[in-house]
Amino acid sequence: MSVALNGEKKDVGAEITIRNLLFKEKIKVHDYVTVQVNGEIISSKDYDSFVIKDGDEVEFLYFMGGGR
């Protein structure tokens, strides 16, 4: 199964949850990663249940913030 991951075509094997994809991509601090699938931002509460399918466009980026 292939998806577009941050603009690059990637073979991710079988259907996979967002959580498992983050692990697969060695992404740390999942609580601070924002994920968008086919243009829709997915709540982090759903990372364990949302299944990514063949052909999906997936984008993820780290939360950016800070303070004085």
Partner 1 sequence: MKITFKKSDYDLIVQHSREALPNEACGLLGGVLEQDGTHAVRRVYTLTNTDASPYHFSMSPSEQFAAVKNIRENGWKLIGNFHSHPETPARPSDEDKRLAFDASLSYLILSLSTENPVLKAFRIENGNASETEILILN
Identify which of residues 9 and 13 has a Cβ nearer to partner 1 in the complex.
9
- Contact map string, positions 2 to 41, toward partner 1, x by CB under 8 A: ----xx--------------------xx--x-x-x----x
Q: How far is the CB of 33 from partner 1 (least distance, A)?
A: 8
Q: Which CB contacts under 8 angstroms, 24+ apart, belong to 31-36?
A: 32/62, 32/63, 33/60, 33/61, 33/62, 33/63, 34/60, 34/61, 34/62, 34/63, 35/59, 35/60, 36/60
What one-character DSSP code corresponds to residue 50? P
65 interacts with partner 1 by CB under 8 A: yes
In the complex, the residues that contact partner 1 under the rule CB under 8 A are 6-7, 28-29, 32, 34, 36, 41, 59, 61-68
